[in-house]
Amino acid sequence: MSSGIQAKEACDKSFADLKAGKLKYIVFKLTDNYKEIDVGEALEVEKGATVDNEETFTTFVSKIKGESPQCRFAVFDFEYNAGEGLRKKIVFFFWAPDDAKVKDKMVYASSRDALRKKLEGVQVEVQCNDDSELDYNFVLDKCKKSSR
């Protein structure tokens, strides 16, 4: 079931920047009036800069979780060594913590497809309800399995 909520144009632009290597991650959120999906936070990457993937992922997780139990959508440009060299996967996250408000969970769940349709190029999806699903090694394993 669709909520009728649409993604703002800023979501498209930010995702294009992520695919172009200008951003490492984007955290999306619903506007306060529950009418649109907007960019909450993003991490810019300087051209040619080296980024510690695991350290950046830890920061990313703290941005998704925030200070209170709220749902979020996010994408992360996940890099890992697969044995034969560096691999990259764009990972989509749907964070719906168990202790989030029921209304938030319902609205986010019904709005997910509106955003996902705009994010062409996502290779891995992770639905997270607790911290174990936001673990670096859990996501790394999902990325490696998607390469097979």
Q: pLDDT tens, 39-62?
A: 999 999 887 666 788 899 999 999
Of 48-57, 92-101, 115-124, 126-135, the one with minimum mean pLDDT is: 48-57
- pTM for the full model? 0.91
Q: Where in the chain are the domains?
A: 6-146
Domain covering 6-146: architecture? 3-Layer(aba) Sandwich (3.40)
pLDDT band for 122, please (50, 70, 90 cuts): very high
Q: Inform me whether the pLDDT recorded for 1 exceeds 60.
A: no
Q: Inform me whether the pLDDT recorded for 2 exceeds 90.
A: no
* Tokens encoding 32: 């306060």
